[in-house]
């Protein structure tokens, strides 16, 4: 009996010590340093992929990852960052909701010597920032503009076309860069009269879409169609994001446009699976593919650099001025996708399977 009692006691002590150990921060740290990854929202497919890729790539290198989504709530993101800082992360990767809203919390990171990497969206007005991993955001806009230029044969035609413009969220630096690219290509055609904007709405503050919201875009498109296109047809809508394109397409269908008959050209960005299906069905014309695997890879090299004293590859040291410093950046290359290159760009690269795209 006595023997059994002592054996049980020994077992209990073993279990309790084990439990304590696995809960302590030391044991987490011994598994690898913790990297906090703050993502804006799970509403858009791309951020889910970004988060997943960063997490798996960092874990493969032995890091522990604290991945959080803030569902487009700025205060939630601030709180998540504060918690990560207090929990002793070794590095922060941040894709912000509002690029100027994190100055204070990032200052706390700096006080604790926690390096910060801006992911896809630049963090503005802060010097608590080491590197920026992104795509060529103006390049995205140029690709969208060129797509319209070619699709409407603007260089050679004498025709005029009715178009309307949408831009992204005003608090997202990317939205401004993208819009600059679009207008760099298309403004000359507006000036020459080949492109007509019946609403007259072309300045960023009027065409921007807070939080890149599908609903806001739908409401604006509906109003524009009701006000300016009662007798005229619209030929193209320049949209900077697949979610906005969905809102635009819904408004067009409600106004009586029919896919495959008189549906206008609609651009987009992100190569969402739904957008790819819409392109195949003729409900959207193109999108911009930003390979989140590649961006995550670049981001991971930056995390390693700041934690382990390595030097990451940088390919831009002049473009991204956040009002405090010019942030050393790596710009990945965006690719325009329409129905002609879905297979070669998205399926052959393994980004989507044939089944996902065609079913
Ligand atoms: C990203 C885009 C994305 C948009 C909306 C931007 O910051 O660069 O890829 O479409 O946010 O989520």
User: What are 211-250's pLDDT values in tens digits?
Assistant: 999 999 999 999 999 999 999 999 999 999 999 999 999 9
How high is the pLDDT of residue 19? 35
CA of 72 to the centre of ligand 1 (A): 12
Question: Tokens for 325?
Answer: 């410093």
Span 106-117, average pLDDT: 97
Contact (CB, 8 A) for 94 and 51: no
How high is the pLDDT of residue 9? 46
CA of 170 to the centre of ligand 1 (A): 12
How high is the pLDDT of residue 309? 87
Name all residues whose Cβ lies below 6 A of ligand 1: 44, 46, 120-121, 168, 172, 174, 212, 241, 269-270, 290
Q: How far is CA 226 from CA 10, 252, 291, 356, in A?
A: 78, 10, 37, 36
Phi–psi pair at 170, nearest 5 degrees: -65, -20
pLDDT band, very low/low/confident/very high, at 98 (cuts 50, 70, 90): very high
CA of 301 to the centre of ligand 1 (A): 22
Could you tell me how many residues make up the chain?
359
Question: Tokens for 39?
Answer: 């993502």
Q: Which atom of ligand 1 is nearest to the CA of 135?
A: 8
CA of 286 to the centre of ligand 1 (A): 16
Whose C-alpha lies nearest to ligand 1, atom 6?
A: 174
Strand partners, 275: none
- 3-state SS, residue 135: strand
7 has pLDDT over 50: no
* End-to-end Cα spacing for the chain: 66
Question: Tokens for 81?
Answer: 């960052």
- 3-state SS, residue 215: helix
């Amino acid at each position: 009996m006595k023997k059994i009692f002592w054996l049980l006691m020994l077992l209990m002590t073993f279990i309790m010590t084990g439990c304590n150990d696995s809960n302590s921060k030391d044991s987490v740290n011994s598994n690898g340093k913790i990297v906090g990854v703050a993502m804006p929202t799970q509403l858009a497919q791309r951020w889910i992929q970004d988060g997943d890729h960063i997490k798996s790539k960092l874990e493969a290198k032995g890091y522990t990852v604290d991945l959080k989504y803030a569902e487009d709530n700025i205060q939630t993101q601030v709180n998540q960052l504060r918690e990560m800082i207090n929990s002793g992360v070794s590095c922060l990767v941040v894709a912000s909701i509002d690029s100027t809203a994190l100055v204070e919390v990032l200052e706390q990171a700096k006080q604790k010597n926690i390096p910060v990497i801006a992911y896809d969206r630049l963090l503005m007005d802060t010097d608590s920032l080491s590197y920026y991993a992104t795509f060529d955001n103006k390049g995205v806009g140029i690709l969208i503009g060129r797509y319209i230029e070619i699709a409407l044969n603007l260089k050679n035609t004498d025709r005029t076309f009715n178009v309307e413009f949408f831009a992204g969220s005003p608090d997202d630096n990317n939205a401004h860069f993208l819009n600059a690219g679009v207008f760099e290509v298309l403004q000359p055609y507006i000036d020459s009269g080949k492109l007509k904007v019946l609403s007259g709405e072309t300045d960023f503050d009027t065409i921007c879409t807070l939080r890149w919201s599908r609903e806001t875009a739908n409401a604006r498109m509906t109003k524009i169609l009701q006000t300016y296109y009662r007798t005229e047809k619209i030929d193209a809508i320049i949209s900077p994001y697949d979610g906005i394109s969905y809102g635009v397409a819904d408004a067009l269908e409600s106004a009586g446009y029919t896919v495959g008959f008189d549906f206008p050209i609609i651009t987009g960005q992100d190569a969402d699976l739904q957008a790819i299906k819409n392109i195949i069905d003729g409900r959207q014309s193109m999108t911009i593919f930003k390979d989140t695997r590649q961006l995550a890879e670049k981001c991971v090299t930056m995390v390693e650099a700041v934690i382990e004293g390595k030097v990451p590859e940088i390919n831009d040291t002049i473009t991204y001025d956040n009002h405090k410093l010019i942030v050393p950046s790596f710009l990945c290359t965006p690719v325009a996708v329409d129905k002609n290159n879905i297979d070669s760009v998205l399926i052959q690269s393994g980004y989507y399977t044939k089944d996902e795209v065609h079913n």
